[in-house]
Chain A
Amino acid sequence: MRLPNRPDQRVGPSLRAILAVSALLAGLLPAQVHAEFGLNLHAPATGLAQNIYDLHTLILWICCAIFVVVFVPMFFALIRHRKSKGHPAAKFHDNLAVEVVWTIIPVLILLGMAWPATSLVLSMKDTGKEDLTIKVTGHQWKWEYEYLGDDIRFMSNSSTPKEQIDGAQPKGENYLLEVDRPLVVPAGKKIRLVMTASDVIHAWWIPAFGVKQDAVPGFIRDTWFRADTPGTYRGQCAELCGVGHGFMPVVVEVVPEARFTAWKEEQKALLAAATANAGKTYELAELKALGEKVYTANCAACHQANGAGIPGAFPALSGSAIVSGDRAGHIDIVLAGKPGTTMAAFGKQLSDLDLAAVITYERNSWDNKVGDVVQPSDIAARRK
């Protein structure tokens, strides 16, 4: 595997400065906007991404060469063959030899492009001999990662605060490209991703890996990458998937293998602790505090932070008959979702504790003052 060995793909400081200063002079650029911008594909972190980068560079140069060959004569004619310069119009309108030549030359150029592209397609599709398989499931609007054979499974939500999006706080460095729990993989190993979705089509994309794969409900697709350099790599969902589409980042942490092994042990310990707590009873305040976090990550995109929903599109929870009514009905709709709508079956996505917390939060927030507490054991009882 070839290590990426390429200078930083960002634009030079001078051009950047000129552009930024001109925008600043116009008094238009908010002060917090200072992330580096790129003119080209991300610096490759895998062999495939490197090959894609090189193929793109090759094609770009070929296109530039054709561009010059075609448009230099055109501009020559536009400048020299003008009526205002007294140029008389020629009469010719056909030339078979020329036309044959400019049909055949493009064929040869295309063959030259198709050859490297074909071999790269074949290697991108070669998902065999993997070291580790991770199942990736797209949900509206978060990613779920399941380490097959390791009993590790978790959700990865955007962690950019709503206040930053609404402009109430300055935007952080990784604005919209940060998650609460990234995918963690070992460096130098071939990782096979098997991909699906629970509701609509999503697309999992890390530009630096050269991997973009649609996650299609009801079908399993696979793709692979091998990243050699430890680090954090960021991308986004690339297929329009509803109101949260722009807020569904993909973050991968590539770590040395020893750290990966340790990380797996931590995850298993966390899981064991959660199982041990299954029968525990919680206080209202405790559940509400946790429930607000769960609500923000999972519910607020549609039902809104104030529970008012969006009339016509997403129902209000504040004052809702279901939310302030019988708790069994409330639990059931959260567990099973509502088919044909955006309302997902959260029973498959969230733990009993998270569900208990968010339902308790909804029943005791905004205009809803039911006053009861839903315990994780209540959720477990309603799961059939």
Chain B
Amino acid sequence: MNTATDVADHHEHEHGAPSGIMRWLTSTNHKDIGTLYLWFSLFMFFFAGALAMLIRAELFQPGLQLFQPGVFNQLTTMHGLIMIFGAIMPSLVGFANWQIPLMIGASDMAFPRLNNWSFWLLPAAGVLLIATFFVPGGALAGGWTMYPPLFMQGGIAYDMSILAVHILGISSIMGAINIITTILNMRAPGMTMMKMPLFVWTWLITAFLLVAVMPVLACAITMLLTDRNFGTHFFDAAAGGDAVMFQHIFWFFGHPEVYIMILPAFGIVSTIIPAFARKPLFGYVSMVYAVASIAFLSFIVWAHHMFTTGMPVGGQLFFMYTTMLIAIPTGVKVFNWVATLWRGSITFETPMLFAIAFVFLFAIGGFSGMVLALVPVDIQLQDTYYVVAHFHYVLFSGSAMAIMGGVYYWLPKWTGHMYDERLGKVHFWLTAVAFNITFFPMHFLGLAGMPRRIPDYALQFAEFNMISSLGGFLLGASQLLFLYIVIKCARGGLPAGNRPWDGADTLEWTQTSPPPYHSFVTPPLVK
């Protein structure tokens, strides 16, 4: 009898996807949910990118032209918040959904229904966040870091944003639990932990970071909520509270959050480089340990975001030293990527171009991070455009460009079609050049003393701001080309075949392109 039931169930699964809107609303399939995550994040990327265009338009010249300061502060705050929680994080979860089961030879994620719910919470949070622009008083305007007491002065949008961030946090925690369980329990026979592709390793460690720190963020914003609405005084000095305590709690989440956004990007780059160098990843074991060390260190460096708050000298020195230590595992990773390229047989398809640009530009962001780690120099540069330059080098040319490279790398697998290689290269060069025109001058602005988050600036900053704005407009426009290439590839193109990249050797390339709706129904044997 059991056998008969099994056969019946099995038969049912073979039917593939239901059609129409219900396929997407009720999907428990990791590929469909991955696709949903990726489209959602692409939409949010364009929305938050449009906010950035408005910021650069206002900063094009000194003086107030387009927006009053209150609106400008909403633009910068929401640009940051949406890019982090709406664009970068969901896109990486999209990669995890699509790739982890395929790369470890599993048939799906461990908790398919939970997976459905993790995704469908996101549009609710996204709508809430976007809606805040239309409520009285406008959207969040105190910076994405939500520092009190400034946060106490906002309107209803502030409470709506707290709810939205809570929802996003719940989604992230569920997604992370799903990823951890999948990786630990559903690997194909023979795939030991140290045989997992590095992308899977980076996501395993990232998922642990998520489970550890998203509740901390939830605590911090819940305290904000009760301070605002229920008469508590956690952060109100007049009643014995401490505004700086919020910063400690927030950054205890915030710094691991930075690595949540970069570690899976490391994983993507570590997948692309060996494929196009046609050579195994150099130092796989040290790469795994480096990622784990970075994750550990991320918990003990948080106060380097707070060097100017006036902490005791012992605190400044401790956090300076721990921050400097991060350079060691990060350096190991960069050296290993270079060693992987060394004496390879290299070709430069679009994914490889993005991966190489990642190594080069992320390193610049790493160097400016070293500069900022030193307390005395940080005192000069804290809250200036130097910091804006630094985190865009690690988040845009780091995370976002790795994500774009990953999209080009796996699009043939996801859609079954090759993307337009020529247009892909045009998109890469436009992005890489425009990115540097936009953000490199910000180092100079910060050194010369331009504070961040200001709607108007002194005249000595005019030239670089204008250059930066022009670069920004080009960078924004170039991403429309990305959208076009992705849509074009999804709709048709040359057939990709099972393995369009001859250097790629992970399990997903053993499947058809696109893979069957239920892949690895029988687990592969990994030698």
A39-B444 contact in complex given A235-B449, A313-B137, C-beta closer than 8 Å: yes
A28 within 8 Å of B by Cβ?
A: yes
- Nearest-neighbour CB distance to chain A for B72, whole angstroms, equals 8
B26 within 8 Å of A by Cβ?
A: no
Complex Cα spacing A107 to B458, Å: 41
Complex Cα spacing A349 to B419, Å: 64
Q: Which residues of A contact B376 (CB under 8 A)?
A: 48, 51-52, 55, 117, 120-121, 124, 210
A210-B379 contact in complex given A63-B370, A83-B278, C-beta closer than 8 Å: yes
CB neighbors of B among A38-79 (8 A): 38-42, 48-49, 51-52, 55-56, 59-60, 63, 66-67, 70-71, 73-74, 77-78
* A81 touching B459, Cβ below 8 Å: no
Q: Which residues of B contact A78 (CB under 8 A)?
A: 341, 346, 356
A128 within 8 Å of B by Cβ?
A: no
- Nearest-neighbour CB distance to chain B for A90, whole angstroms, equals 4
Majority-rule SS of B interface residues: helix
* A241 touching B150, Cβ below 8 Å: yes
* B63 touching A82, Cβ below 8 Å: no
Name A199's closest neighbour in chain B (CB-CB): B149
Q: Which residues of A contact B223 (CB under 8 A)?
A: none
* A52 touching B377, Cβ below 8 Å: yes
| One of B9-17, B46-54, B323-331 contacting the partner | B323-331
Complex Cα spacing A221 to B316, Å: 14
Q: Which residues of B contact A167 (CB under 8 A)?
A: 63-65
Complex Cα spacing A77 to B243, Å: 51
* A87 touching B380, Cβ below 8 Å: no
| One of B359-367, B423-431, B472-480 contacting the partner | B359-367
Name B316's closest neighbour in chain A (CB-CB): A121
Q: Which residues of B contact A244 (CB under 8 A)?
A: 69
* A175 touching B62, Cβ below 8 Å: yes
Complex Cα spacing A56 to B307, Å: 16
A33-B62 contact in complex given A40-B448, A78-B356, A81-B342, C-beta closer than 8 Å: yes
Interface size band for A? 35 or more
B447 within 8 Å of A by Cβ?
A: yes
* B456 touching A247, Cβ below 8 Å: yes
* A56 touching B377, Cβ below 8 Å: yes
The residue from A35, A243, A340, A342 contacting B69, defined by CB atoms under 8 A apart? A243
Q: Which residues of A contact B238 (CB under 8 A)?
A: 217-218
| One of A98-106, A252-260, A323-331 contacting the partner | A98-106
Q: Which residues of A contact B279 (CB under 8 A)?
A: 89-91, 93
* B379 touching A99, Cβ below 8 Å: no
Q: Which residues of A contact B244 (CB under 8 A)?
A: 216, 219
Q: Mask for A332-365, Cβ within 8 A of B = 1, else 0?
A: 0000000011100000000000000000000000
* A81 touching B462, Cβ below 8 Å: no
* A312 touching B136, Cβ below 8 Å: yes
* B149 touching A201, Cβ below 8 Å: yes
CB neighbors of A among B457-474 (8 A): 457-464, 466-467
A238-B451 contact in complex given A29-B462, A89-B343, A199-B149, C-beta closer than 8 Å: yes
The residue from B310, B316, B341 contacting A77, defined by CB atoms under 8 A apart? B341
Q: Which residues of A contact B457 (CB under 8 A)?
A: 176, 246
* A171 touching B62, Cβ below 8 Å: yes
Complex Cα spacing A239 to B305, Å: 12
Q: Which residues of B contact A32 (CB under 8 A)?
A: 459
* B63 touching A165, Cβ below 8 Å: yes
A56-B243 contact in complex given A67-B367, A89-B345, C-beta closer than 8 Å: no
A90-B343 contact in complex given A37-B460, A74-B338, C-beta closer than 8 Å: yes
* B309 touching A87, Cβ below 8 Å: no
Complex Cα spacing A52 to B288, Å: 37
A136 within 8 Å of B by Cβ?
A: no
B344 within 8 Å of A by Cβ?
A: yes
- Nearest-neighbour CB distance to chain A for B158, whole angstroms, equals 12
- Nearest-neighbour CB distance to chain B for A246, whole angstroms, equals 3
A70-B338 contact in complex given A35-B458, A201-B243, A218-B237, C-beta closer than 8 Å: yes
Complex Cα spacing A124 to B312, Å: 11
A177 within 8 Å of B by Cβ?
A: yes
Name B374's closest neighbour in chain A (CB-CB): A117
* A66 touching B367, Cβ below 8 Å: yes
B308 within 8 Å of A by Cβ?
A: yes
Q: Which residues of B contact A216 (CB under 8 A)?
A: 237, 243-244, 309-310
* B451 touching A237, Cβ below 8 Å: yes
* B462 touching A37, Cβ below 8 Å: yes
The residue from B65, B241, B338, B461 contacting A37, defined by CB atoms under 8 A apart? B461
* B346 touching A166, Cβ below 8 Å: no
The residue from A94, A102, A207 contacting B449, defined by CB atoms under 8 A apart? A207
A156 within 8 Å of B by Cβ?
A: no
- Nearest-neighbour CB distance to chain B for A88, whole angstroms, equals 6
CB neighbors of B among A190-227 (8 A): 195, 199-201, 203, 205, 207, 210-214, 216-219, 221-223
A246-B447 contact in complex given A110-B325, A216-B244, A312-B138, C-beta closer than 8 Å: no
Q: Which 4 residue pairs across A and B have the least CB separation, nearest first? A: A218-B237, A312-B136, A221-B310, A246-B454
Query: With A90-B344, A212-B379, A243-B69 given, can you name 20 additional A-B contacts, CB distance below 8 Å?
Result: A19-B467, A23-B466, A33-B463, A55-B376, A59-B374, A63-B367, A78-B356, A81-B344, A82-B347, A92-B282, A99-B286, A106-B328, A121-B316, A122-B313, A200-B149, A213-B310, A218-B241, A238-B451, A240-B383, A312-B138
Q: List 9 A-B contacts (CB under 8 A).
A: A40-B447, A51-B376, A91-B280, A93-B283, A118-B317, A177-B458, A210-B376, A217-B149, A218-B242
